[in-house]
Chains A and B, each alone.
Chain A
Amino acid sequence: MQVEAIYNQGRIELTQPLQLRHPRVRVIVEVPDEEVPDTPSMPSASPVAATLNQAERSGLREIQDDILKEIIQILGPLYRQRIAASVTDDKQVYMDSLAEKHGS
């Protein structure tokens, strides 16, 4: 059976609770090839420069779109361009949500 997990700083964390017969079980994890570094590298002199260098190699638009594409994929039919909301708008919606939850 396959289960979803997140690699986080060296630990594998399951996204859903999983009941198994034994408390300790050896499992095989499939790691995406693109996540495996070729050789250890120095911490970058300039984090922004590093990103921009990578951007130059593969196109800035493509790199930035990675995050957006993932969000759009999750949203599916819920994705659409919406009008800007101010911080005040957000706070009002938040208060409305709390009122709905707590019944006031």
Chain B
Amino acid sequence: MKNLVFDVNAILDLWLSRRPEAQLKTIASLILLCRQGSARGWVASSSLHVLEYLAVRQFKSEGIDPAVARQTVRQLLNKLLEDLNPLSCFGFQQDQTLVAQTDLEDAQIVAAASQLQGPTAMVTNDKRFDTRGTAVQQLMPTEVSEWLQPDSPTEKLDFIDLKTQQDAIRPQLESHLHRVLHHGQYILGPEVRELEQRLATYTGAQHCISVASGTEALLISLMALGIGPGDEVITTPFTFVATAEVIVLVGAKPVFVDAELDTGNIDAALIESRITERTKAILPVSLYGQPADMDAINAMAARHGDIPVIEDAAQSFGAMYKGRKSGNLSTIGCTSFFPSKPLGCYGDGGAIFTSDDQLAQACREIRVHGQSQRYVHTRIGVGGRMDTLQCAILLAKLPRFDHEVAQRIAIGQRYNALIDQVRIPRIQQWPDRTSVFAQYTVLVDDRAALQAKLQATGIPTAVHYPVPLNQQPAYAHLCCPDCTPAAARLAQRVISLPMSPDITESGLDRIVAALQASGHPPLSQLQ
């Protein structure tokens, strides 16, 4: 989304009706675009007091009582900040503003505007406003409409657009990060507790334990369950390596069960035959953002002596399964806050969800070196805490998360309709659950050729995942390479397309048109 930074003169013209009606309407329509969410509007923090000075001065010059003038201008500023975000200019930017060839006020505004991630224009009636040397455009109000038209179709798309989200929540991010810098509790600070409480409420689980990564969430969960050498954990080979890696790390053996061809998730119908007396956990992965068949897996686990079930919800946080939230569908749910995940921080992070008090206590202790109280280590643990700063970032992102989940679902459905029209097989979604489309994945025969063609038109792709874990060198001895044929078939054919809650309809149309233009033949036998 494009950013519009409004200069003082444009706002004053509107407030004080200093231009012909048509020009005032142009400025008003630009602010309206920001209100509607079609562009993102900003006013520099350093402009706010200038607006106040100038407007109050104008009213005072007309004989208005100064108190009335100030009160009126504060109301105007409040109304303005409903539509435009305040844009910060930080202390560390002042050196740069002092060497600018323009006046300090303008230099501060440009420095602040330069921080925004998306294309940014300064809306001003001052043709001398100097944005040279920056990516910020300088536009008269009448020039903005044309600039807001969609970008050139050859411009490179982001595989995952995190920039739009960052601009959308910039004031909240700044506020949360500065709060942590101010209180200085960088480890297990108040934001950690607040995040855990809010995420537990969100999922419906009794406990949320934030940890250093999604991998750490899985590892700590296995440790809390006491899984170790001689034990077996049933999981899928069609996943990111962390899922099986942690099983091996605790000394247990991963037992690979094949995937469903239509969803890529573990095939629940194949699990029961692999359960033995050594099976100490079942670890399904809710792949691509869609929960696995958790009811079937839970029922099977219950029939075999309440085997704990750990949902690897690294990609599915926010998804629903039969009215319940992913992460709260089994004994333990683990998620990841890796930046590209549906709820991602700006580094590594993860969380464990459970409603079992003892498991929660064990996870909390293992997270801090097995410590039950300061310097009392009652079990073997790890250094697995999530930073306060990363928790603060997620707290800034949470208010937008429901909107993003709704957008992901809407975009996924739109993708489905377009992809079905061009008859390319895709990952299917089941009607009793939602997918948050952490990835949007289709299936093709000649993947490398398609990737090259799409790349040439500015459309990035990724493969999740090219090799099943039982074919990886470090894991091949744990399972025969041909005993999970569906996983092998999927791994050869899956290709993920750009996906994020802020991808535009035109971007989506462009991707599907490029797919169609690639002349890629539909895969006939897969579905």
Contact digits for B20-51, partner A, Cβ 8 Å, 1 yes 0 no: 00001100110111011011000000000010
Secondary structure of the B contact surface, majority rule: helix
A: number of interface residues (CB 8 Å)? 47
Is the CB–CB distance between A51 and B32 below 8 Å?
yes
Residues 492-507 of B at the A interface (beta carbon under 8 Å): 502-506
Our pick among B14, B72, B402, B407 for the contact of A78 (Cβ within 8 Å) is B72
B2 within 8 A of A: yes
B12 within 8 A of A: yes
Is the CB–CB distance between A46 and B150 below 8 Å?
yes
Is the CB–CB distance between B29 and A51 below 8 Å?
yes
For A6, list chain B residues within 8 Å (CB).
Answer: 78, 81-82
Is the CB–CB distance between A51 and B33 below 8 Å?
yes
Is the CB–CB distance between B17 and A78 below 8 Å?
no
A82 within 8 A of B: yes
Contact digits for A81-104, partner B, Cβ 8 Å, 1 yes 0 no: 111110100100110111001000
For A70, list chain B residues within 8 Å (CB).
Answer: 79
Our pick among B32, B69, B169, B504 for the contact of A67 (Cβ within 8 Å) is B32
Is the CB–CB distance between A45 and B150 below 8 Å?
yes
With the chains together, A75 CA to B58 CA distance in Å?
13
B229 within 8 A of A: no
Secondary structure of the A contact surface, majority rule: helix
Is the CB–CB distance between A71 and B14 below 8 Å?
yes
For A96, list chain B residues within 8 Å (CB).
Answer: 57
A19 within 8 A of B: no
From A4, which residue of chain B is reached at the shortest CB distance?
Answer: B78
With the chains together, A79 CA to B161 CA distance in Å?
43
A15 within 8 A of B: yes
Is the CB–CB distance between A68 and B25 below 8 Å?
yes
Our pick among B24, B39, B409, B506 for the contact of A40 (Cβ within 8 Å) is B409
For B14, list chain A residues within 8 Å (CB).
Answer: 67-68, 71
Is the CB–CB distance between A71 and B76 below 8 Å?
yes
From A43, which residue of chain B is reached at the shortest CB distance?
Answer: B504
Q: Could you write out 10 A-B pairs with CB less than 8 Å apart? A: A8-B171, A9-B168, A9-B399, A10-B398, A10-B400, A10-B402, A45-B504, A68-B25, A84-B19, A96-B57
